[in-house]
Structures are given as structure tokens and as C-alpha cells.
Amino acid sequence: MHEMSLALEVCRLAEREVGREALGRVTTVAVVVGDGAGVERDNLAFCLETLLGIPPFRGARPVLVAAPGEELRLDYLELDDGGPDD
């Protein structure tokens, strides 16, 4: 099941992007998954939910965005800065 390897890499990229100390504030991790990417979306979603549910992510929500083609990439991260919502 290579989806777990992909989920681990997504988490590594997210950690690198925001820094380990900020990971408690990541609320959403979005990944674009192309129809021809050779990825089982349900399996990837399950792997991401599992990994994002434990420290250092503390419950970030995975969002998988369907796309045509073979694209597979980290799309965006949503963060909670701890301040009041604008």
C-alpha cells in the first residue's frame, strides 16, 4: 500500500513548510490527486487521517482534491494562528 508512503511524505512536507513548533496549529492539509495518479483516494484519505490525528499534527483535517491527469501534489495548508477570526 503505497498510499501510506505518500501520506508520510505529505506530512513531512507540511512539517517542513510550517516548522515543527507550529504544527499544532495546522487545521487542514489539502492534496491534489489526479485521476491517473495511480492512487486510491480512499486509502490515502484514511492514511492521512491516521497520521494527522497524532502529534505533532493534533487532528488536522485532510482534504483530497480530485483533478484530471496524473497530478499529485500538496495543494495548501490551513493554519490557526490562535488569534481572533477576522
Q: Give me the number of domains the chain comprises.
A: 1
For residue 86, tell me if it sits in a domain: no
For residue 85, tell me if it sits in a domain: no
pLDDT tens digits, 39-85: 999 999 999 999 999 888 888 999 999 999 999 999 999 988 776 76
pLDDT at site 1: 59
pLDDT at site 69: 97
DSSP structure string for 50-84: HHHTSTTTSSPEEEEEEESTT-EEEEEEEE--SSP
- Rounded Cα distance between 65 and 86, Å, is 26
For residue 37, tell me if it sits in a domain: yes
pLDDT tens digits, 1-44: 599 999 999 999 999 888 877 766 889 999 999 999 999 999 99
For residue 71, tell me if it sits in a domain: yes
For residue 84, tell me if it sits in a domain: no
For residue 44, tell me if it sits in a domain: yes
